[in-house]
Amino acid sequence: MENNPPILKLKITFIEKVFNTLGFVSFAGVIFYIIFTWSSIPSQIPGHYNASGEVTRWGGREELFIPLAIGLLLWIGMTILERFPHLFN
């Protein structure tokens, strides 16, 4: 017996469209904020804090793009999975 899941064609609801739009606008806002304030961001920024709140690692301001890249990859992946729910259910 084969275990083929049914192919679902779900329509995106209004509230899903609203949340997708809010997420995209927020993400784009953070990117534009970093770009427009780049010259005022110090060249060294805290990269890690210990439990006491003390900085234990310093990094370059370029590291601000790492969480943005991870967020972009996650957003793309989740958008693809949202379109094909039968592939990951």
DSSP codes of every residue in the chain: ----PPPP-PPPPHHHHHHHHHHHHHHHHHHHHHHHTGGGS-SEEEEEE-TTS-EEEEEEGGGGHHHHHHHHHHHHHHHHHHH-GGGT-
Q: What pLDDT, in 10s, does the model give residues 39-65?
A: 999 999 999 999 999 999 999 999 999
Mean pLDDT score of the chain, rounded to an integer? 89
pLDDT reading at 22 higher than 90? yes
